[in-house]
């Protein structure tokens, strides 16, 4: 039960430093603190680690106001484990759960269970499928960037290095993920607008090794291919190695997405042409801020906006 008197927490400075606008009031609970949970994907992914670290730093500033529980899967596609984690957090009576779904459809049912239990549910990184939400009669905010817009920006920059009719391959993330679908759509928007020929679209499942294998096959199947557009930096690094192994370094452009630390040396020497910074270290904070705001204002899940868009920034071999 919420206290009648609310304690205003001065977090505007922290939010401004994180690129957020406005301030959130965090209310203490009678007999304890708010309980917020963050459920992430593969903790082996630098993008996920950046989100977790930022979330921990954010909570340390306001440790007297709320507790934070962080869970993450061991692999990118371990959906069953993520569902179990959310179920356990529902039983633990969290006030809010912020989740980066491993699967845009498969997580809908457990998220719906959380909402039924009175828990505020927020998604980051990967939104839940709209049709699945409608079928479950729920509405879950997605706090994150416009992936289609971001991928189009990367594709537009790439198109400036190509000529109409050039062959391009797209290596996308997990085909079941909404963010993968949106990035592929944005890449297609850019390539089609510039008159490029998309010769192949294949899933690399966000993984370095799978991305390398898919890239190697595209390079073999389409000897005239001029660019490999990758849905994240892990796959882009795999594509770079496939290009090297095929003896095509300098002849095939590679683009990524996420602006991970690991991609920076490849940007510096031109092996990767461009990537997209979607501010991984801020995404978890954006999501937590939205969750805290909803809880402290005693908002109902159905009253929350379906989309809360966050910033993007194109990063190239020139401005890295």
What does the pLDDT look like over 199-256, one tens digit per residue? 999 999 999 999 999 999 999 999 999 999 999 999 999 999 999 999 999 999 999 9
Sheet holding 167-172, edge to edge: 197-203, 167-172, 225-230, 253-255, 274-277, 313-316
Structural domains present in the chain: 12-145+280-310 (3.40.50.2300), 147-277 (3.40.50.2300)
* Rounded Cα distance, 286 and 299, in Å: 17
* Residue found under tokens 């301030």: 23
Nearest to 280 by CA among 13, 53, 17, 24: 53
Reduced to 3 states, what is the DSSP secondary structure of residue 136? Answer: helix
**Is 50 exceeded by the pLDDT of residue 8?**
no
When mean pLDDT is compared across 17-26, 181-190, 218-227, 264-273, the lowest value belongs to 17-26
Q: State the average pLDDT for the chain.
A: 89
Q: DSSP labels for 201-254?
A: EEE-TT-HHHHHHHHHHHHHH-TTEEEEEESSHHHHHHHHHHHHHTT-TTTSEE
* Rounded Cα distance, 256 and 242, in Å: 14
pLDDT at residue number 54 = 93
**Is 90 exceeded by the pLDDT of residue 312?**
yes
pLDDT digits (tens, 9 = 90+) for 119-165: 999 999 889 999 999 999 999 999 999 999 999 999 999 999 999 99
């Amino acid at each position: 039960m919420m206290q009648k008197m609310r304690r205003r927490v001065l977090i505007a400075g922290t939010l401004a430093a994180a690129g957020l606008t406005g301030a959130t009031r965090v209310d203490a609970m009678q007999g304890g603190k708010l309980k917020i949970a963050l459920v992430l994907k593969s903790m082996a992914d630098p993008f996920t680690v950046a989100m977790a670290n930022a979330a921990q730093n954010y909570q340390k500033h306001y440790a007297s106001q709320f507790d934070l529980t962080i869970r993450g899967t061991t692999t990118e596609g371990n959906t069953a484990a993520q569902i179990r984690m959310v179920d356990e957090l529902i039983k633990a009576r969290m006030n809010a759960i912020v989740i980066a779904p491993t699967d845009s459809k498969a997580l809908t049912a457990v998220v719906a269970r959380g909402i039924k239990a009175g828990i505020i549910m927020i998604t980051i990184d990967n939104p839940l499928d709209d049709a699945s939400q409608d079928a479950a009669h729920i509405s879950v905010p997605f706090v994150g960037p416009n992936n289609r817009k971001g991928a189009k920006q990367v594709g537009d920059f790439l198109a400036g290095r190509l000529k109409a009719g050039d062959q391009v391959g797209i290596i996308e993330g997990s085909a079941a993920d909404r963010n993968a679908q949106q990035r592929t759509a944005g890449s297609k928007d850019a390539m089609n607008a510039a008159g490029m020929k998309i010769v192949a679209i294949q899933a690399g499942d966000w993984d370095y090794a799978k991305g390398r294998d898919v890239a190697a096959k595209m390079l073999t199947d389409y000897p005239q291919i001029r660019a490999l557009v990758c849905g994240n930096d892990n796959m882009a690094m795999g594509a770079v190695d496939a290009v090297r192994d095929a003896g095509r370094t300098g002849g095939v452009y590679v683009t990524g997405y996420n602006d991970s630390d690991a991609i920076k040396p490849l940007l510096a020497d031109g092996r990767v042409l461009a990537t997209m910074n979607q501010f991984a270290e801020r995404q978890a904070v954006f999501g937590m801020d939205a969750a805290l705001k909803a809880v402290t204002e005693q908002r109902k899940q159905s009253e929350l906006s379906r989309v809360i868009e966050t910033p993007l920034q194109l990063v190239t071999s020139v401005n890295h």
